[in-house]
Chain A
Amino acid sequence: MPDEPLLRVEEVSKHFKVRGRTLHAVERVSFELDAGQTLGLVGESGSGKSTLGRVALRLLEADAGRVVFQGRDIAKLSSKELRQERRHMQIIFQDPLASLNSRMTVGAAIEDAMIIQGVGTRAERRKHVDELLERVGLPLSAGNAFPFELSGGQQQRVGIARALAVKPKLVVCDEPISALDVSIQVQIIDLLKDLQKEMNLAYIFISHNLGVVQYLSDRVMVLYLGEVVEQGTAQDLFADPQHPYTRVLIDSILKIPESSAERRPMTGLPGEMPSPFSPPVGCPFHPRCALAQDRCSAEKPQMRAVADGHLAACHFAG
């Protein structure tokens, strides 16, 4: 199968049982991701972005559906095989300080990843740590520092170095810039982009910063209440959003108007996302949708192609 993608996610669902109730975190999501490509995941807090990223790495077990990584169903791997496979799939966390071991120096934390995967001799690992530090833009002496002694941006660089230490093919970036200053965000984004080119990495890039997602992604998926409401290439999706939710999201990007003629009243999205314990019948978005009609609360819209490679789940799309 020459066309087998690096990662294929098929109809994956993830539910959490919370005090006897069922939380629908991810509902029947499918996508494919090729090596060297970036898939952007956008949506509000609680839309299931992070859960989906973790299910793709089997940090969480899917309740239904399949995750096929490099042609193998990762749910069928034994725990030992899975641990070995983790070498090829890594994650960068939102809060680098929380994800780094405060009792380990930065150098030890990066080397730790290689030790766990049994990579190289001691000397090779040390050398590779130095290379990684340099590559992510940290001084070599930072290897001696403890994570809390570094700034937020530097901590995230450590998180990236640690994830890349084992030369993965797929990296889930779980809101890697949300905790950083705006000026630092740009540096980290550029670093991620450069590294992707160099190492032919595939990214699943999770963010609620649409501008960044547009900049980084080849394809974008919009999630709402755990369901994909629209997906397409970054270009198509931002130029011609089909789902009303996507439109609201894109409209909510703050732009500084260049002339007073461009100034328009800000339109927010009314209300809150409904409870994921009891998602609405019909279209999950209908209680907040400006276009909603009777049909939307009765009949769930199916994903359908509105253009080549551009899908939306709305009765009125296209």
Chain B
Amino acid sequence: MSTVTDAVAYASNRSWRRSRLRRGFGRFARGPLSIIGLIWIIVLVVVALFAPQLAPYPVAGDILVVNEAPSLAHWFGTNNVGQDMLTLCMYGVRYTLTIAAGATILSFCIGVFVGMMAGLQGGWLDQVLMRFTDFMYSFPSFVLAITVIEFTGQGIVSVIVMLGLTQWAGFARLSRGMTLTLRNSELVESGRAIGASRAFVIRHYVFPHVWSSISVYTAFFLVNIITQDGMLGLFYNVGPQPPNISFGSLLLLNTPDVLGFPWLLTMPVLVFVSILVSLIVVGEGLQTMLSPKGSVNL
């Protein structure tokens, strides 16, 4: 009986619909790191949205202040053409988060659609879709990405589309696995037994479980996409047109001067890493929140 008393004390008199969200967020808030990560991400999103307004200097740079060390005037210092590093980092955040969000949404949609189709339909369609997924998984997607960008030209949309079209295999595999487990479960059978349509069962009984099982993967996928985009910029000089700049290009641009002027490396890298770390932390908090049993502790 103690279990129900606990649950009762926990839920008190709130209506069962509202309490779900509240209780979920309560679990999220229990990890202080998740909250710090979330606040930092919100700050970064604001920076990303209003980079042109928030940036202290124009992107173009001022040749009178070349290679200045961090100071009150230039918090992050300046580079060899007099560009303010804080300004560049802000545009970097703007660009990076756009790519991350766009490519992740695209990959998620393609991957989850393919995975759930394969899992629900089974048979030859499952075989075909999953062999194609294996192919995408093992294919050197960078080669494809760079080749296509040669044709489509540089720019934010091309990078999003290329990363999105090549990176979805993980989403497909995970969602197929979860769908297969659910397809023959008593849970889905109970939905059918009560008279729910196939679409209703998929929407309310299958998808929420698929989503929760891949939500953490999604957070790490964001990290992966951001890293890949950094590599595209750093090693292949693939990125957006100015004033937008990727962190990869930023490092590439500054590489010759890094030894003499270390802030050119440390400042962008710090910002870049802070994005990744806060995403990871928020991802884990998200798992705690979405899982009703909420067991992940940070």
Contacts and interface: CB of A to CB of B under 8 A. Distances in A.
Interface of A: 57, 59, 79, 82-87, 90-91, 93-95, 98-103, 105-108, 112-113, 116-117, 138-139, 141-146, 148-151, 154, 162, 166
B189 interface: yes
A107 B14 CA distance: 12
B53 interface: no
B88 to A, nearest CB: 43
B193 A144 contact: no
A146 B292 contact: yes
Contacts of B143: none
Interface stretch (B2-10, B27-35, B145-153): B2-10
A144 B190 contact: no
B6 A151 contact: no
Contacts of B12: 141, 144
B293 A148 contact: yes
A98 B209 contact: no
A91 B200 contact: no
A117 B195 CA distance: 7
Interface of B: 1, 3-4, 6-8, 10-14, 16-17, 19-20, 185-187, 189-197, 200, 204-205, 208-209, 212, 292-293
Contact of A151 (B1, B13, B192): B1
A116 B6 contact: no
8 tightest Cβ-Cβ pairs between the two chains A and B? A144-B11, A86-B195, A145-B7, A149-B7, A99-B186, A107-B16, A141-B8, A105-B16
B187 A100 contact: yes
B16 A154 contact: no
A42 B192 CA distance: 25
Given A94-B186, A98-B185, A144-B8, 9 more contacts: A59-B193, A83-B196, A87-B195, A105-B17, A108-B16, A142-B4, A144-B12, A145-B8, A150-B7
A85 B193 CA distance: 10
DSSP majority for the B interface? helix
Contact of A90 (B4, B194, B204, B292): B194
Contacts of B195: 82-87, 116-117, 166
A141 to B, nearest CB: 4
Contacts of A98: 185-187
A9 B212 CA distance: 41
28 contacts: A86-B193, A91-B189, A93-B186, A98-B186, A98-B187, A99-B187, A101-B187, A101-B208, A102-B292, A103-B208, A103-B209, A103-B292, A107-B16, A108-B17, A117-B195, A141-B8, A141-B11, A141-B13, A142-B8, A144-B7, A144-B8, A145-B7, A145-B8, A145-B10, A149-B7, A150-B7, A162-B190, A162-B194
Contact of B7 (A84, A99, A100, A142): A142
Contacts of B20: 105, 108
A282 B8 CA distance: 58
Contacts of A112: 194, 204
Contact of B200 (A103, A116, A139): A116
Contacts of B4: 138-139, 142, 145, 149-151, 154
Contacts of A150: 3-4, 7
B212 to A, nearest CB: 7
Given A105-B20, A139-B4, A166 B11 contact: no
A194 B227 CA distance: 63
A143 B187 CA distance: 19
Contacts of A83: 195-197
Given A99-B186, A108-B16, A116-B200, A146 B194 contact: no
A95 to B, nearest CB: 6
A107 to B, nearest CB: 4
A84 B14 CA distance: 32
